[in-house]
Chain A
Amino acid sequence: MPWPEFLPLFAFMCIGMYLMRLIPISVLSDRELSPRTKTLLGYIPPACFAALVANDLLSPSMFANGIWPGLMPLIATAVVVLVAAKTKSMVWCIVVGIAMYALLGFVPL
């Protein structure tokens, strides 16, 4: 990408990102939050991670190329959920998840 196009885009993206990362931490850190606010903030991690997983796995066109290609990552993810619940190990989740994904890719469906 030509640098004269890249640099303004890069600058705007970074400024926007830093503001999003810094404003809440600056505004909220020295305030005594109410118990309800703290409880509310506590739901951010599960909701965000669920949204990120869903964003990776689900889309209206996920079965456009057939049932199996859309189902395959969901099956692999189900296995990863079991591994995560059992081992709580991120390394095992990655290893088993990628192995399942690769294995399921060989299933002739």
Chain B
Amino acid sequence: MFDSSSPEARGLSMAQVKAVVRADAAVAIGYVIVGIPFGMIGASLGFEPLQVFMLSFFFLSGAGQAMMQNMLMAGFAMPTVLASVMLVSSRHILYSAAMAPYTRGMRFLRRFAFAWNLTDEGFGVNMDRLSSGERWTANQIIAVNTANQVLWGVSTFAGAVLVNFISLPAAMASFGVTCIFVCMLVGQLKGASTFLAAGAAIAGVFVAKLAGLDGIAVILGAIIGVAVGFFAGEKLGHGGDGERLSNGDNPAGASNRMNEKDDVAPSCATASASLTPSTSLCTGEEARDALA
């Protein structure tokens, strides 16, 4: 749940730092495991270690970086490469939009710090914490994103430097990233409409690839998934699985309502703080379990 009490506060307490380390440890390990072979691939394709680091640290999009490297080496023209990379990275528009309610009342620079290093994994970790009962502050969101950014930059740089000394199975390392996405996806599937959203996104990606639209398959699939999930939720009653709608489908206001609900049914209150629509629903069974 988002702690919006002091959006401009600086610094983190030791407990908050520990919570960040706990929440982000798996992603951090994954970044190191994947970053080293990723940097090795970049260097073997002709990029200097410093160039690999600059891309990883400032551009900070593994999929975009991989696409850029492959297309450049395949001889595509620069504008084509740029357009493709921007398209495949355009899912960040959706992430940014989803994070927007948490930046209410912040100054521009603070928002910049909030958003400039947002990654797939950082978004997943923060959304997971915001969906939980644990208080999660703006500084913790920034800390997760910054830790990921630094680790990704350093790991890929190390890989680019080490390319002449060691060899790592890149396919296996790459599958590690897929596992991270799978874990994050499973954590978001909490109602029929979210299953439909995910299924539609998967189908959308595959159809886009069949049509030769590989470069925009992810964003197309995601948009189709969001649309299908939304309309299915409307038809089926938001959660799409017969649950009653609680007042928790507002991510920005969730923290305010938490206090009202905490005393009654903690697990339901936790669920209601989630950004995921289906988790904003609380069944009678859950309420009984929580009270028990």
Binding site for B on A (CB under 8 A): 1, 3, 5-6, 8-10, 12-14, 16-18, 20-30, 33, 35, 38-60, 73, 76-77, 80-81, 84-85, 88-91, 93-94, 96-98, 101-102
* Residues A47 and B197 in contact in the complex (CB < 8 Å), given A13-B85, A22-B96, A24-B93: yes
Residues of A within 8 A of B204 (CB): 51
Given A22-B116, A25-B115, A76-B175 in contact, is the A45-B26 Cβ separation under 8 Å? no
A39 vs B174: C-alpha distance in the bound complex, in angstroms?
Answer: 32
Distance in angstroms between the alpha carbons of A60 and B116 in the assembled complex? 34
Given contacts A41-B97, A42-B276, A44-B226, contact A52 B120 (CB under 8 A): yes
With contact pairs A9-B82, A24-B96, A35-B250 given, residues A46 and B188 touching in the complex (Cβ less than 8 Å): yes
B residues whose Cβ falls under 8 Å from a Cβ of A: 25-27, 29-30, 33, 46-48, 51, 54-55, 58-61, 63-64, 68, 72, 78, 81-82, 85-86, 89-106, 108, 111-112, 114-116, 118, 120, 123-124, 127, 172, 174-189, 193-194, 197-202, 204-206, 209-210, 214, 217-219, 221-226, 229-230, 233, 238, 249-252, 274-277, 280
Inter-subunit contact B61/A38 (CB<8 Å): no
Q: How far is the CB of B201 from chain A (nearest CB, A)?
A: 4
B233/A91 in contact, CB under 8 A: no
Partner of B205, one of A17, A20, A54: A54
Q: Give chain B residues whose Cβ lies under 8 Å from the Cβ of A12.
A: 82
A48 and B115 form a contact (CB under 8 A): no
| Pairwise interchain contact A51-B218, C-beta atoms closer than 8 A | yes
Q: How far is the CB of A14 from chain B (nearest CB, A)?
A: 5
Taken together as a complex, chains A and B put the C-alpha atoms of A1 and B52 apart, in Å, by: 10
B169 (CB) vs chain A CBs: closest residue = A102
| Closest CB in chain A relative to B65 CB, distance in Å | 9
Which single member of B100, B178, B214 contacts A97 (CB below 8 Å)?
A: B178
Which residues of chain B have C-beta atoms less than 8 A from A94's C-beta? 26, 29-30, 33, 176, 179-180
Closest to B82 in A: A12
Question: CB-CB < 8 A to A44: which residues of B?
Answer: 94-95, 97-98, 222, 226
**Chain A residues positioned under 8 Å from B172 (CB to CB):** 98, 101-102
Verify B197–A50 contact, CB threshold 8 A: yes
Alpha-carbon gap, A15 to B14, bound state (A): 35
| Contact in complex: A53, B181 (CB < 8 Å) | yes
CB atoms of A39 and B277 under 8 A apart: yes
Q: Name the residue on B nearest A87 (C-beta).
A: B183
Q: How far is the CA of A69 from the CA of B193 in the complex (A)?
A: 32
Interface centre among B59, B124, B178, B233 (most CB of A within 10 A): B178
Contact between B26 and A39 (Cβ–Cβ < 8 Å)?
no
Residues of A within 8 A of B97 (CB): 24-25, 28, 41, 44
Measured in the bound complex, the distance between the Cα atoms of B51 and A40 in whole Å is 38
- A22 CB contacts on chain B under 8 angstroms: 96, 111-112, 115-116
Q: How far is the CB of A57 from chain B (nearest CB, A)?
A: 7
| Contact (Cβ within 8 A) B277 A43 | yes
List of A residues within 8 angstroms of B186 by Cβ: 81, 84-85, 88
Residues of A contacting B238 in the complex (Cβ-Cβ under 8 angstroms): 39
A21 to B217, CA, bound (A): 19
Residues of B within 8 A of A38 (CB): 101, 249-252
Specify which of A8, A29, A57 is in contact with B101 (CB 8 Å cutoff).
A29
- Docked complex Cα distance between A81 and B229 (Å): 20
CB distance from A106 to the nearest CB of B (A): 12
Q: What residues of B have a CB within 8 angstroms of the CB of A35 in the complex?
A: 249-250
Which residues of the other chain, A, contact B99 by a CB distance below 8 angstroms?
25
Which of A1, A33, A49 has a CB less than 8 Å from the CB of B185?
A49
Task: Identify A48's interface contact among B193, B201, B210, CB under 8 A.
Answer: B201
